[in-house]
Chains A and B, each alone.
Chain A
Amino acid sequence: MTDISGTLAGSLPQRQRVDTERTAKLLFIVPAVIYLFCLSIIPFVYSVYLSLFQAKLTRLDRKFYVGLENYKDLLTDPTFLKSIQNTAFLTLSSIGIELILGFTFAKVFLSIRDMRAGQVLRSVAILPMMITPICVGLIFGYILNPTLGIANYLLSQVGVDPVTWFGDPAVALPTVIAINAWQWTPFMMLLMLAGLVSIPPSLYEAAELENAKWYHVARWIELPAIRDVILVGVILRVIDNLKLFDLVYVTTRGGPGDSTELITYFAYRQSFSFFQVGYGSAAAVIILLISIIVTTISVNYLRRLQND
């Protein structure tokens, strides 16, 4: 087969060839640029623009410029500040639980990976992450219903008083965290299992010769070997948790009080319940900034680890 491009390139002067290549590259990225421009850049710029106005969706013709007033109000709004605190707590707690349980289950599935039952169980274990979060919320809403739910019924059978899972400010956020961790532990488990499978058996054999305990193996062999995988998982889960919305929307609606108010739910309420699109846009811009800062730090850390 004749290499036409090579023939053409060879027959063109050097400068012309460079120009053609540059044009081709530009043409290749045009669709992506148009896509990003229309669906990301324009809405973002418009959000920033709206955030400088006091604007209600139903009275957009009467919006007026307030400068950075919305941002100032947000940073003194106790509900917004609480939502940041709740989101941070939820993110750290969920990921912490997912890491511990994920690693434990990964080890279990690693040890039974050659058994048929192990393969079946592994498939069953990842079912929670295949369920839409809104359905997870609805299902747990029924299970944890204080009057009619099965959870309190089972507890009552062993003499435990009914628990108000979503009604007690001290219990509601841990309940949301537990549901969130239940759904996403399989994701962490799968990542870690993939990492563990790739560890050369010779390392385990060496540890066995040295009479290493299981925690020595975990500390000195397994965790260092799957460090990159864990960090990728953590970054993805941080991003997921920063945009967590559905679960709170169907279970607690941010309550009781502001105990489960998350930043996404706060922004949603401002923009789509009250239609205060100026204030809501300012909240969305701050959320974006937080996301950018957190993910940039995480990605840089990951790069540094990979370079080490």
Chain B
Amino acid sequence: MKGRKSLKIATSAIALAALATTAGAVDWSTELGDHSGVDLRVQVIQDPFIDSLKEISPTFEGVTGASVTIEGFGYDPLHEKQILGCSQSDDQYDVLFVDGIWIGEFVEAGCVEPVEDRVAAEDPEIMAMDDYIESFAGQAVWEGKLQCLPIAGYWHMLHYRKDLFEEAGLEVPKTFDELMAAAKFFAESPDHPDVAGMAMNFQRGSPAGQQFFEWIYSAGGKPWESNFPGSEDAYADQTPLFNSPKAVEMIQFFRDMVPYGPPGVEQFAWDDRANAFTQGKVAMINNWSVRTPLFSDPKISKVKDVFDVALFPHAEGATAVPPVGGWVMCINQHSGKKDAAWDYMKWFAHPDTHKTFVLAGGPPSRHSAMQDPEIIAAQPWVPTLYESAKLAWQELRPRHAYTFEMIDALGFEVNRAITGEATPQEAMDAANETITRMLQRAGYIE
């Protein structure tokens, strides 16, 4: 035990020394308070970056004397646990990782303490707020106020097997039509009978619901009246357009892609999609960038040296709007250790720490990280990711208090269309009707 502590202190000292040697390095011993004896508890999604978070946190412990406990949960359980905890004024956790799309719900329920004033009180060079990538940074803002720090941005890229594409002499798809043609080719290829064409998220609920939002802009459509890339106020008119011709056409496209997916693709969610690609069972997937490092991990990936990434595809006549998502880091409104929580966030969000986090496998969320030669050398997909990040639209998915319910309702109907229980038109009509009723009940539309 003692040995482990000494090792932790030594590791922290080395890390600090390394940081101090870089130009303009922050002296954290003066920037951060003494939090000896404080047990800071961080509640986080069980995404691949949790290991990177655990790897770098001892540095903070070494500087402040605090101990940091990081606990991971699955997507739905995390949402449930956080909201239930908040409704009971639970102070068990001090730092909350919140999905950018839950921000409206969390703010409305009073679960997070806005960080805007704390940021304003800090040295702007330490906070480096301008360095955050705009398409994701906006997800930390709600009701015109910075609520949290946008520290783990994800963007979608098309992940594909470059070896198979080269072997077949195929171009990497840029449009939906090209995507379907390539998926069909690989699904029917006698040379690789175990490899399916493309895996997408079709499982009922959040996976299929989010998939709708991820593709609709690149399909040339929009989910509701005033939500489109560049909209001044995405929430000005929330009249649903889930049964618009573009939306129905896109669902038909999803349905047409089913035969080119792996067996059981109708029930695929994030992990299934990524696992199929990692195991070499599928030629293409659209996937969040947070999982990209896993594909190059020789311990678990069979496609380490044979995959590459490309921009998210788009419909003919439309432009690619790569999906953006990720996690913002917030102070639990009910925490009794807010100052320690803020110090941890401030330290974690700093560009230097962020770079260490990214090099440990975390998702880059800052311009500086995306352009860093060391990061690009370690993660060759980062330039494509940066390009995707610049094309993304921050209001991709709804962020109000009904987002979870709305996405689930939509995912229910998308899945019905995928499995053939309803036609795309019937499913989307039903989705539009349900969501309209939901938004009326919430008072968001008349």
Residues of A within 8 A of B (CB): 54, 56-60, 79, 145-148, 152, 162-169, 252-259, 269, 272-276
Instruction: Verify A253–B421 contact, CB threshold 8 A.
Output: no
Instruction: Verify A256–B109 contact, CB threshold 8 A.
Output: no
Instruction: Verify A168–B83 contact, CB threshold 8 A.
Output: no
- List chain A residues, Cβ under 8 A from B58: none
Nearest CB on B from A55, distance (A): 11
Which of A57, A60, A146, A168 has the most CB atoms of chain B within a 10 A radius of its CB? A146
Specify the main secondary structure of chain B where it touches its partner.
helix
Q: Which listed segment binds A: B60-68, B161-169, B180-188, B408-416?
A: B408-416
B residues 75-107 with Cβ under 8 Å of A?
76, 79-80, 83-84, 86-87, 105
Q: Does B308 contact A (CB under 8 A)?
A: no
Nearest CB on A from B212, distance (A): 15
Instruction: Verify B105–A58 contact, CB threshold 8 A.
Output: yes
0 or 1 for each of B198-230: is its CB under 8 Å from A? (1 = yes): 000001110000000000000000000000000
CA distance A57 to B401 in the complex (A): 11
Nearest CB on A from B187, distance (A): 13
CA distance A259 to B203 in the complex (A): 12
CB-contact partner of A59 in B79, B401, B405, B419, under 8 A: B401
CB-contact partner of B204 in A60, A164, A168, A256, under 8 A: A256
Q: Which residue of chain A has the shortest Cβ distance to B430 in the bound complex? A: A78
CA distance A140 to B272 in the complex (A): 15
Instruction: Verify B264–A166 contact, CB threshold 8 A.
Output: yes
Q: Which listed segment binds A: B139-147, B231-239, B275-283, B321-329?
A: B275-283
- List chain A residues, Cβ under 8 A from B83: 57-58, 275
Known: A57-B83, A256-B419. A167 touches B109 (CB 8 A): no
CA distance A57 to B82 in the complex (A): 12
Instruction: Verify B279–A167 contact, CB threshold 8 A.
Output: no
Which of B80, B204, B262 has the most CB atoms of chain A within a 10 A radius of its CB? B204
Known: A253-B203, A257-B421, A273-B79. A146 touches B408 (CB 8 A): no
Nearest CB on B from A205, distance (A): 55
Specify the main secondary structure of chain A where it touches its partner.
loop
Instruction: Verify B263–A147 contact, CB threshold 8 A.
Output: yes
Which of A148, A152, A253, A276 has the most CB atoms of chain B within a 10 A radius of its CB? A253
Instruction: Verify A253–B205 contact, CB threshold 8 A.
Output: yes
CB-contact partner of B87 in A57, A273, A274, under 8 A: A57
Known: A146-B262, A256-B204. A164 touches B401 (CB 8 A): no
- List chain B residues, Cβ under 8 A from A56: 401
Q: Does B265 contact A (CB under 8 A)?
A: yes
- List chain A residues, Cβ under 8 A from B405: 273-274, 276
Nearest CB on A from B87, distance (A): 5
CA distance A255 to B421 in the complex (A): 11
A163-B263, A255-B267 given; 20 more Cβ-contact pairs under 8 Å: A58-B83, A58-B86, A58-B108, A58-B109, A79-B412, A146-B262, A147-B263, A147-B276, A147-B279, A147-B281, A148-B279, A164-B263, A164-B267, A167-B264, A167-B266, A253-B205, A256-B266, A256-B418, A257-B416, A269-B408
- List chain B residues, Cβ under 8 A from A259: 421
- List chain A residues, Cβ under 8 A from B109: 57-59
CA distance A131 to B163 in the complex (A): 44
Q: Does B299 contact A (CB under 8 A)?
A: no
Q: Does B441 contact A (CB under 8 A)?
A: yes
CA distance A273 to B224 in the complex (A): 23
Which of B108, B205, B265, B419 has the most CB atoms of chain A within a 10 A radius of its CB? B419
- List chain A residues, Cβ under 8 A from B347: none
Instruction: Verify B267–A148 contact, CB threshold 8 A.
Output: no
CA distance A124 to B9 in the complex (A): 51
Nearest CB on A from B242, distance (A): 17
Instruction: Verify A255–B401 contact, CB threshold 8 A.
Output: no
Instruction: Verify B279–A256 contact, CB threshold 8 A.
Output: no
Known: A58-B87, A58-B109. A168 touches B281 (CB 8 A): no
Q: List 18 A-B contacts (CB under 8 A).
A: A58-B105, A58-B108, A59-B108, A147-B281, A152-B263, A162-B263, A163-B263, A167-B265, A168-B266, A168-B419, A252-B267, A255-B204, A256-B418, A257-B204, A257-B415, A269-B408, A274-B405, A276-B405
Instruction: Verify A147–B87 contact, CB threshold 8 A.
Output: no
- List chain A residues, Cβ under 8 A from B266: 164, 167-168, 256
Q: Which residue of chain B has the shortest Cβ distance to A161 in the bound complex? A: B263
Known: A58-B105, A59-B108, A169-B421. A255 touches B264 (CB 8 A): no
- List chain A residues, Cβ under 8 A from B441: 54
Q: Does B342 contact A (CB under 8 A)?
A: no
CA distance A265 to B416 in the complex (A): 18
CB-contact partner of A254 in B79, B204, B262, B422, under 8 A: B204
CA distance A54 to B438 in the complex (A): 12
Known: A58-B83, A274-B404. A255 touches B281 (CB 8 A): no
Q: Which residue of chain A has the shortest Cβ distance to B107 in the bound complex? A: A58
CA distance A17 to B419 in the complex (A): 73
- List chain B residues, Cβ under 8 A from A276: 405
Q: Which residue of chain B has the shortest Cβ distance to A79 in the bound complex? A: B412
- List chain A residues, Cβ under 8 A from B419: 167-169, 256-257
Instruction: Verify B401–A58 contact, CB threshold 8 A.
Output: yes
CA distance A269 to B209 in the complex (A): 15
- List chain B residues, Cβ under 8 A from A60: 87
CA distance A152 to B441 in the complex (A): 45
